């Protein structure tokens, strides 16, 4: 704390407890209010030495005492102001003392220019009491807060610059994130050419269904990310099993069925994919609980995975695969109806079928 602030606190404490802390008769001043009073020399020196301009007004709002800092601001001598009405003394004064002549407690700010520089002052008003707690007047303290205001301005500029840098960096991270997703999806497609374009198509349809069901904002972004990465776990499946044209053995099927768990282990450690991982981990769960890897049923299956399951099967049956020829649109619709309540969430199937009827998918 600045020494002048400590001094001001001591000064105000003295005013409150003694009531006439500033009542003094100075040899160079003829203070009308304090003519017959004597104050401790130490207090007199503090008042005079304070950097903050101060003036004491009596109960009639005449200048009872004033320190050197205030005189310097006024560019006046003690004789020109002591005993004079505050209205006339401070008539052209930039700090609004005249506005608070009838106020016992107040704090206000004033801004004015000196040599093309904005100057900021804070005005504080306190009452002055005597020993009987009778108000004898008011003390007006002016504190130069220009440096503080300039610092605040610089901090605002710095903050604006930091915000701009954060926005730029966030955009760069978003682009890097997008590139990473696209890269992973492409890597999967290059390894399994039979499913080329599958992830993007399924992601598009899943987003349409989700939006129709009221999913918004980040929820849609999580579905998109999860859809693109839904088969990321297949990187753990050996090529001879992944590309096997015939029926898989039970041992091979067990390896394939592990790919959702592999996806979970890969993606769950990445904070920004914490919700998106629901699709890679749970898109093989079934509404009746007969799916894998956890055997979840009904609404225990995340909504994103339930939505994705419908979009995934729709796309998988719409294109030729090594183990299955493409089905007709009518066949797939009939299959979805048949599996509603078994494999698929009936609510999702209902929405999806309505969208196929309307030509949205």
Please report, for the domain that includes residue 332, its CATH number: 1.10.3210.10
Residues 138 and 201 in one domain: no
Asked if the model's pLDDT at residue 18 lies above 50, the reply is: no
Task: Answer yes or no: is 251 within a domain.
Answer: yes
How confident is residue 23, by pLDDT bands cut at 50, 70 and 90?
very low
In a shared domain, residues 45 and 132: yes
Q: Catalytic site residue 234?
A: yes
Q: Where are the alpha helices (DSSP H) in the chain?
A: 3-18, 41-49, 68-74, 78-81, 86-89, 146-191, 198-212, 217-228, 239-242, 250-256, 259-267, 278-282, 303-318, 329-339, 346-357
- 170 lies in some domain: no
- Domains contained in the chain, number: 2
Residue 46: predicted pLDDT: 74
Most confident listed range (15-29, 285-299, 314-328): 285-299
Of 144, 159, 174, which residue sits at a domain end?
144
Catalytic residue among 234, 244, 247, 265, which?
234
Residue 47's pLDDT band (cuts 50, 70, 90): confident
The whole-model pTM stands at: 0.57
Pull the structure tokens for residue 342. Answer: 């078994």
Range of the domain at 95: 3-144
Q: Residue 42's pLDDT is what?
A: 53
Q: What mean pLDDT do residues 86-96 have?
A: 92
Q: Are residues 86 and 233 in the same domain?
A: no
Q: What is the mean pLDDT of the chain?
A: 85
Which of the listed residues 144, 165, 181 is the one where a domain comes to its end? Answer: 144
Domain presence at residue 172: no
pLDDT digits (tens, 9 = 90+) for 110-142: 998 888 889 999 999 999 998 888 899 999 999
Mean pLDDT of 15-27: 37
Residues 220 and 323 in one domain: yes
pLDDT digits (tens, 9 = 90+) for 146-166: 999 999 999 999 999 999 999
pLDDT tens sequence across 274-283: 999 999 999 9
Kindly report the CATH number assigned to the domain that includes residue 116: 3.30.450.20
Q: How far is it between the farthest Cα atoms of the chain?
A: 116
The residue from 144, 169, 203 where one domain ends is 144
């Amino acid at each position: 704390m600045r020494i002048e602030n400590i001094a001001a606190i001591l000064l105000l404490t003295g005013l409150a407890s003694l009531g006439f802390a500033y009542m003094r008769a100075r040899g160079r001043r003829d203070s009308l209010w304090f003519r017959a009073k004597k104050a401790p020399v130490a207090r007199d020196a503090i008042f005079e030495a304070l950097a903050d301009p101060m003036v004491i007004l009596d109960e009639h709002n005449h200048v009872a005492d004033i320190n050197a800092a205030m005189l310097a601001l006024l560019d006046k001598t003690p004789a020109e102001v002591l005993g004079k009405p505050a209205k006339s003394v401070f008539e052209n004064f930039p700090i609004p003392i005249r506005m608070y002549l009838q106020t016992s407690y107040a704090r206000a700010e004033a801004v004015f220019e000196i040599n093309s520089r904005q100057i900021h002052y804070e005005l504080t008003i306190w009452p002055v009491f005597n020993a009987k707690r009778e108000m004898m007047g008011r003390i007006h303290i002016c504190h130069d807060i220009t440096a503080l205001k300039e610092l605040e301005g610089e901090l605002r500029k710095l903050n604006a610059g930091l915000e701009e840098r954060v926005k730029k960096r966030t955009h760069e991270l978003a682009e890097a994130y997008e590139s990473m997703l696209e890269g992973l999806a492409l890597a999967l497609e290059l390894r399994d050419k039979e499913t080329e374009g599958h992830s993007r198509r399924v992601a598009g349809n899943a987003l349409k269904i989700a939006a129709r069901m009221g999913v918004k904002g980040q929820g849609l972004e999580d579905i998109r990310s999860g859809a693109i990465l839904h088969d990321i776990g297949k990187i753990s499946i050996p090529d001879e099993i992944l590309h096997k044209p015939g029926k898989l053995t039970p041992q091979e099927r067990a390896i394939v069925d592990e790919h959702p768990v592999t996806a979970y282990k890969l993606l769950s450690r990445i904070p920004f994919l914490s919700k998106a991982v629901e699709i890679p981990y749970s898109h093989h769960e079934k509404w009746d609980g007969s799916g894998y890897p956890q055997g979840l049923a009904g609404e225990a299956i995340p909504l994103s995975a339930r939505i994705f399951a419908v979009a995934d099967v729709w796309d998988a049956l719409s294109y030729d695969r090594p183990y299955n020829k493409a089905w007709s649109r009518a066949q797939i619709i009939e299959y979805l109806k048949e599996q509603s309540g078994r494999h698929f969430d009936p609510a999702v199937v209902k929405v999806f079928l309505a969208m196929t009827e309307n030509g949205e998918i």
